[in-house]
């Protein structure tokens, strides 16, 4: 925990509204995550930005960047920088479903999670609840 003085902290805890992934094709990557998570697309008229609404609050968004390169994790040539952890009830069934809808398995994890790449190459984990 940081040594930040109490006066340097927000008066009330802040909420993280969303997380944004850069990718070459926001609509395609949003479609993958919509299938994976079952979240609803937030309708907007912007071809460079697509958001999915988490029923519990917040968004996962996708922003066009035609020059973004996929991570090479676990090789460190192009770092992953960040990844998503998704909790699932049946790890084996959800792992198979993730592959069917376009994910690539990267590793087996430690028995409680499996590491995948989404169709744009961002690593994410399915984690047993």
Model-wide pTM > 0.75: yes
Tens of pLDDT along 107-129? 987 789 999 999 999 999 999 98
Indicate the pairing of strand 59-64 with strand 18-23: parallel
Q: What is the pLDDT of residues 9-48, one digit of tens each?
A: 888 887 778 999 999 999 999 999 999 999 999 988 899 9
The residue ranking higher by pLDDT, 81 or 54, is 54
Pick the CATH number of 17-66 from 1.20.210.10, 2.60.40.10, 3.30.420.40, 3.30.720.120: 3.30.720.120
**CA–CA separation, 83 vs 127, rounded Å?**
12
Per-residue pLDDT, 1? 54
Q: Fold for domain 69-129?
A: 2,3-Dihydroxybiphenyl 1,2-Dioxygenase; domain 1 (3.10.180)
């Amino acid at each position: 925990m940081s040594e930040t003085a109490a006066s340097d902290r927000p008066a009330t805890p802040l909420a993280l509204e969303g997380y944004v992934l850069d990718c070459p094709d926001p609509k395609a990557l949003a479609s993958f995550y919509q299938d994976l998570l079952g979240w609803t697309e937030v309708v907007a008229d912007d071809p460079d930005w697509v958001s999915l609404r988490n029923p519990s609050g917040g968004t996962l968004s996708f922003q066009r960047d035609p020059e973004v390169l996929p991570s090479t994790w676990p090789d460190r040539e192009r770092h992953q920088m960040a990844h998503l952890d998704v909790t699932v009830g049946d790890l084996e069934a959800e792992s198979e479903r993730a592959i069917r809808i376009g994910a690539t398995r990267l590793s087996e994890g430690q028995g409680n999670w499996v590491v995948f790449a989404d169709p744009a190459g961002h690593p994410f984990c399915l984690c047993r609840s």
